[in-house]
Structure 1
């Protein structure tokens, strides 16, 4: 039975390899900051053929519409460019 596991960022960082293994067995890992969910770690969907082309097509689905556009992660860093 799949479980939903909540972990704050420091705990997730410390237990990352274990959480990845849990995600691989189809558990849903919810990463939280100050008790608020901010990210989910799950196993990728099963690929029908398991080819590199299938993987690249799956990765392309999550890219920004504009190939020149990059995600803005300013909320993760302070004014000096250090992680918050």
Structure 2
């Protein structure tokens, strides 16, 4: 699919993008190439392929869940304007 310069102008207007006139031809070529790639991908027969929930069909390695920072709760609450029972108090914003 080949896009014209007027197509680029319409797309830029719809996307609310300012496109410099000297770059319109480059954008037309790039977007045409992208649309051609999508059209080629659309022709691939995927009828026998089952959808995947994750691209890697294996268990992912996870790092151990260990704390790596010291607990500074008292320090942070000491500089907070209002706290009560370990909670931060904030002004009511919704009635």
Given the two structures, how large is their TM-score scaled by the length of structure 2?
Answer: 0.17
Structure with the largest fraction of strand: 1
TM-score, normalised via structure 1 length: 0.18
Structure number with bigger Rg: 2
> Which structure's residues are more often helix, by fraction?
2
